Each structure stands twice: as structure tokens, then as C-alpha cells.
Structure 1
Amino acid sequence: MVGWTMVEVMIAVMPFHGHVAPLAAVAEAFLTAGHGVRVYTGAAHADRFATLGARVVTWESAPDFDEHNVPATFPELRGKKGPRQMLTNVEQLFVRTGADQAADLTRAYAEQAWDVIVADGLSMGARFASELTDTPWVTVSIVPLAIPSRDLPPPILGLSPARGLAGRLRDSVLRAVTRAATRGIQRAYSEERERAGLPLRGFPLDQAFISPELVCASGVAELEYPRSDLATQVVFVGELTRPRASDAALPSWWPDAESSESPIVHVTQGTLNVDPHDLIEPAFAALGRQRVLLVAATGRADDAGLPFPAPPNARVAGFIPYDALLPRLDVMITNGGWGGVLAALARGIPLIVAGGDLDKPEIAARVAWAGAGVNLRTGRPRPRAILAAWRRVTADDSYRANAKRLAESLGGHDGPREVVEHTMALLARRRAPEPGG
């Protein structure tokens, strides 16, 4: 971009593996383009960004935590699943840390000013820091858009768009119910704004995680429900992380995958809620007698063992490099992490999605709506539901055809590079003189 040779960028990342991976790709793209990059995240992920060449600012005023034991820092989350977990998670972890995140960020700004803050879409601290420093803020949405719409049900329920008058009435009622259910979050947001020294009449809660100038949304328009009121600052950028040649060791059983004459079905528990009883165990029960090779990832590199026996046709590891695995897959059974879902769809792999909590029911619903997979409508499916879904996906060619259609659309993007380009265009617009000025 003419006139911008180098800028100083602050990237704010919530300290979860699923957030760190896409924002690390964005940080690398800014560094490759020659810009100065600092990253604000948890201490556990500092090395990931330092290795890229970024300078790291860790959570200090904000309560840093272990993503594998979040209740140790936020005890309010203990024992909660489903919608209750989502509401408590948003309030305690994302909203009530906002003022403390902003304190960390504004100290970093005082030490060296940034030109723009590029943030994980769930970083409340970035919103507050942008207001406090009067600097531009770019949202990078690493999950499906959660922007409310008059045309859609509330974005936390995993429901597809309504059809007809009765459906629209349903969505209207649900929007009212959701407003009531989220009063605690709204109260927390007001209290955090006050703690941060910001006016209470600032941006309302439904705009709190959305930059008013630029939202770079991972995914493609074909995975977004049609709506008449989509914010004009939203741009779709495709995948933010793409599997590439990895130095990670392949499991000792990998030759079985390379030589398998049976279709390979991958079962992934994700990296956050990793109880193998939720999805891996019923998937083994469903497909343990079928002519497939089951390849399961527990999401724990430090503990790949299972508390139950694996069937003879199953192979298990903590993590498996996707650059090696994905080209061999026939079907993926997933808990619905957005990064893994996009990785599979970008290679035309149909999905079976068991989305149980947080954003995952919404992801499962979108995959089914796009015709690229089956939504099991629970995070703890029964074996017979998984078996029926697998039979549907393998017997009906439309699932694979729709996955390939989405792969073509995703293949037209270079997400990290596009985030850099859109950010630089925003800064150029801000620099441009007013007409007639």
C-alpha cells in the first residue's frame, strides 16, 4: 500500500490453542510483510509467537489460565456444559477479564504506541484498549459470525434460519428470551467498562466484540446464513490456518494408515473439552466393526491414552499432523472446532459433527445447512446415531459434492495475507484526506 512501508501492529489473542493457531498465522503474515508485531496472549503460548519473531506481552493484570483446566482459575465454570457453559464462559472468561486485559494493553501502548490493534474476535480487552488509546481496531473472527440479525435466531443456539411466519415468530421469541438470559453478561459488560474508565453509554453489548471498521471473518459466504442486515465492514477471508509440512513425529502406527485399503475415518475430540467418553468412545462403539480404519486424536499430546479399550480397527494419538492425515480421509467425525471443520471442508471431506457447547452447536448447524455433513445435535451422541450418520454420509453423494463445492470457495482465499491487506487498506482510508480538505 503506497505510503505505508511499515506499521506497528498489536495482535491480541485469547490464550486457547484454537485461537492461537489462526492468529499465529496472521502474525506471521504481518511479519513477512515487514511490519512490527507485538502479541498479547497467555504465557503458555508466548514461545509460539516469539519463535515467529514477534515480541510478546503476556497476561499480567488479566488472570492467566491453563486452557486444560479453566475452572482452576474460573471456578464458576466447574461442572457446566451446554448453554450454561457458554453463558458462564462468556461472562467470566471473556467479559469480566476485559478491563484487566485493557490495563495490560494500555501499559504496552504507553511503552510503544501501535498503529492498529488486530484482535481475536473474543478479546474484550482489545475493544477497550482501542477506545482508551483512540486507535483503529480490526476484529479477526476465528469462529462463525455471532453478529445478531433480525433475519436469524440468536447465534448461540445452533438453530438454522426460520422458514415461514411461524419460524420468524419463533426467532423473535428466542431473541427476547436470549436478551433475558444474557442480562448477567450485559451487567458484567457495563461493570467492566466502568472499571476500565470508559463511558457506560459506549458500544452496546451486541457490538462489543465487533470492530465498527473491519471484521475479517474466517470461512466463506457459502457457510454464512443469508441475512439482509450483514454489517458492511465484514469480509470473508477463508482459512486462517492451512496444514503444512510438519516436523512433528508421526505415530508409530502410521504405516497402517499409509497402507490401509479400507476408508479412513478420523475422530477428533478437539483441544478444549477433551473427555474421550463424549465422542471417541461412542464412535469406536459405532464403527469398531465396520470396514474402516478409525484414526482418533485425543487432543492431549502429553496423554494420548484412553480409559477404555480401542477396537482392533482403531489407532490413537494425541495429535496427528493434518498435512499427512487429511489427504487420506474419507470422513471426519468432529466435536465441531471451526479450524478443524474448515480444514476438512477445504479438502472436500464430508463431516459428522457432534457440537455440544460453546460455538460448536452453531458450527454443526452451519455444516448441515450447507449440505456438507450431518449434525448430531449433541456433544455426547449415542453409537447408533453416529453409525446412522456415517451410513448417510457415505451413501449419499451430495454430502461429498457439497464439501467439494466449499473446498473450491475456500481454495480461492489466502486468509492471513488477506487480513494484512484489508488492515492496510483500512489504515490507508484513515490517512486519506477528507474530500475537499
Structure 2
Amino acid sequence: MNFVAIPNMESDPQVPPLFFGFRPPRNPMEKAIQGLAGLLSDKVILRPASQSYRRQHTAYGQAVPREGRLTDEPYRCSDAIIQTGPESLDFPRRRVNPKVHYVGALLPYRSAGQSVAGRGAGDGLPRNYPATLVITQGTVDNLDQDKLIVPALEEVKDMDALVIVATSGHGTEALTARFAQPNVVVRDYVDFAEVFDFTDCFITNGGFGGVQLSLSKGVPLVVSGINEGKSDVNARVEYAGVGINLRTESPKPADIAAAVGKILADPGWKSRARKMQEQFEGEDPAEVAAAVVEDAGRRTPG
């Protein structure tokens, strides 16, 4: 049994190699470029990890097939794979692995009507603006706020919109003093599950959990991140048509403003995000995941 909390890593002839933020190739030139990138990924980026993996298996007398990529191993060895996210947020695949079960967004449990205590859900927020924007730089790569938070705020602070910023506890007071506009609310933490109920655009570096939560609420995105696999997450957001991918770690303020403007001006972005929301709501992710575990248990000898 394997649980995958990032996008599907299994290789496929139609799926671009990992780490480069590619979308599926549209022509022979793109296919050739991605083929070379795949070799670079296998022979250089993943080589140390692959060698270590094989050494550890050899020490226990276990053979590892020579074909396939290191990232294919969980999909080859497991009896079943619980894959977070809906299948529509993945790229089309030529080969369908029956072991892979897309279960939707596995989000923290909360009882009906429960808010996240002390995390400022919708309490005290003005609701008289024609649009609401939420900005975050995630929970890990958020120390250098000049990457995304600051350039985003510089461009949207004077818009006729409520702007909510979640800092994950870094630099909250300094940002509050710097951006003192009445429509800008800066907090350590935000109860995204509640705030997304009235959000029109989510500006983020592209963590997979936040992307799924946003889409589970039908909120389109502006995504800008490369590290920690975010480039591959953001490529899927772009391919699905539910957000605009700026394809950089440090976007220009004008590019952020242009992307936000496109999201707000074209209802098609919201419509596609809501269509994906319907897919999230189709089944209970926890129940589906539990059913996968139970079925694998019944089929496993001993």
C-alpha cells in the first residue's frame, strides 16, 4: 500500500518528465526536448537516489528491475496506491495503472460548522468588496517574502478588492505596517476552508495541498513556484485550465497583476474551477481511501 501526497509520479509516454514543469508535448520539437530532459532527470538528477536505492535492495538480496525510473517503484511494488487529487488534475496517460486510485483532496477532519481555532476564518473580515484575493507563499518556502507575497501585494493593494494574506507566522507585523491599506488583511494563519467560500482568486506558489483545497472550493489560481516539485503541480493547474502559471520562483509584479486581472475578467476560469469542484465533491475522499485499503487487505495473502 502506498500513499502519494504529490502529483502522480509514474512515467508514461504521454506524461512529461518530472521536475521541469512541462505540459504534455504538442509537437515533435517539444517531444524531443522533453525526451532529452527525461534523460537528464534519469542520468543526473535522480542518479544518486537510484544508486542508493539499488544498493539498499542489494544488501537485502532483493533485485530491482533495470527498466523504468526510480519514481516508478512505488507504483510497481505496491498492491494499491492512494493518489491524492482528482484524475482531472493529472495529465492524460496512455497506460492506465489499475493500482492507482485517485481519491480527491484528503483534507484535515473538521466537524460540521467547525472553524480552525485562533486562525481567523471569516471573522472580522470586510465583505463589502466586489472581489476577494487570497495570497500565500506556503508553509515551507516562505521566509523570503520578496519572492511572491510582496510583489503580489504591491500590485493588488490598491485594487477594489479584499486582499487576505497568510504568512505562516513569518513577518506578519512588518507586512501589516508596510501595507496599511484598509482592504489588506495580513494574518499568521487563515482558515482557508472558510475563506475560500468567498474567494475569487488564490495567488500561491503552488503547494499541492493548497491547490487542491482551492479547487475543492471552486477557486481559480495564479500560481508561481518551481522548487519542491511545485513546477509540476503548477503545470497541471495550467493544463487543466483552472489557473494561470507564471512559471517562475520570483514573478514580476506586473505579471501577477495581469494574471489576476485575467482571472477576474473572464468567468471561464471560475467556471472550470467549479467544474473541478464538482469532481471533488462527487465522493468522500476518506471513504474512498479506506475502501482501497480494505480491498488491498482482502487481496493480500496472509
User: TM (normalized to structure 1)?
Assistant: 0.62
Contact 1:355 1:377 in 2 (8 A): yes
Q: Aligned letter for 1:268? A: T
- Counterpart position of 1:319: 189
Q: Distance in 2 between matches of 1:252 and 1:150?
A: 44
Match of 1:310 among 164, 171, 179: 179
Q: Distance in 2 between matches of 1:387 and 1:351?
A: 13
Which has the bigger relative contact order, CA under 8 A and spacing at least 6? 2
Contact 2:155 2:253 in 1 (8 A): yes
* 1:377 Cα deviation from its structure 2 partner: 0.3
**1:123-155: CA deviations, max 9, x gaps?**
xxxxxxxxxxxxxxx111111111111222202
Q: Distance in 1 between matches of 2:48 and 2:261?
A: 43
Contact 1:239 1:413 in 2 (8 A): no
Q: Distance in 2 between matches of 1:208 and 1:252?
A: 41
User: TM (normalized to structure 2)?
Assistant: 0.89
* 1:200 Cα deviation from its structure 2 partner: 5.5
* 1:167 Cα deviation from its structure 2 partner: 2.5
- Counterpart position of 1:428: 298
* 1:394 Cα deviation from its structure 2 partner: 0.9
Q: Distance in 1 between matches of 2:193 and 2:16?
A: 36
- Counterpart position of 1:368: 238
Match of 1:260 among 123, 128, 133: 128
- Counterpart position of 2:160: 291
Structure 1: runs of 5+ lacking an equivalent: 1-137, 433-437
Change in 2 beyond 3 A, CA 1:421/1:262: same
Q: Distance in 1 between matches of 2:146 and 2:115?
A: 29
- Counterpart position of 1:207: 72
**1:237-290: CA deviations, max 9, x gaps?**
0110067422412549942x2433231100011101112221110111111121
* 1:217 Cα deviation from its structure 2 partner: 0.7
Change in 2 beyond 3 A, CA 1:221/1:298: same
Contact 1:269 1:334 in 2 (8 A): yes
Q: Distance in 2 between matches of 1:416 and 1:227?
A: 25
Match of 1:216 among 82, 85, 91: 82
Q: Distance in 1 between matches of 2:156 and 2:257?
A: 7
Q: Distance in 1 between matches of 2:163 and 2:60?
A: 52
- Counterpart position of 1:357: 227
Change in 2 beyond 3 A, CA 1:407/1:177: same
- Counterpart position of 1:198: 60
- Counterpart position of 1:229: 95
**1:410-437: CA deviations, max 9, x gaps?**
11121122111111111112259xxxxx
User: What's the % identity of the aligned pairs?
Assistant: 24
- Counterpart position of 1:174: 37
- Counterpart position of 2:218: 348
Q: Which has the larger radius of gyration?
A: 1
Structure 2: runs of 5+ lacking an equivalent: none
Q: 1:153 and 2:16 equivalent? A: yes
Q: Aligned letter for 1:424? A: E
Q: Distance in 2 between matches of 1:161 and 1:371?
A: 14
Q: Aligned letter for 1:348? A: G
**1:59-112: CA deviations, max 9, x gaps?**
xxxxxxxxxxxxxxxxxxxxxxxxxxxxxxxxxxxxxxxxxxxxxxxxxxxxxx
1:337-416 equivalent positions in 2, closer than 5 A = 337-416=207-286
Root mean square deviation, CA, Å: 2.2
Q: Distance in 1 between matches of 2:257 and 2:109?
A: 28
* 1:231 Cα deviation from its structure 2 partner: 2.0
Change in 2 beyond 3 A, CA 1:164/1:254: same
Match of 2:48 among 181, 184, 193: 184
Q: Distance in 2 between matches of 1:390 and 1:399?
A: 11
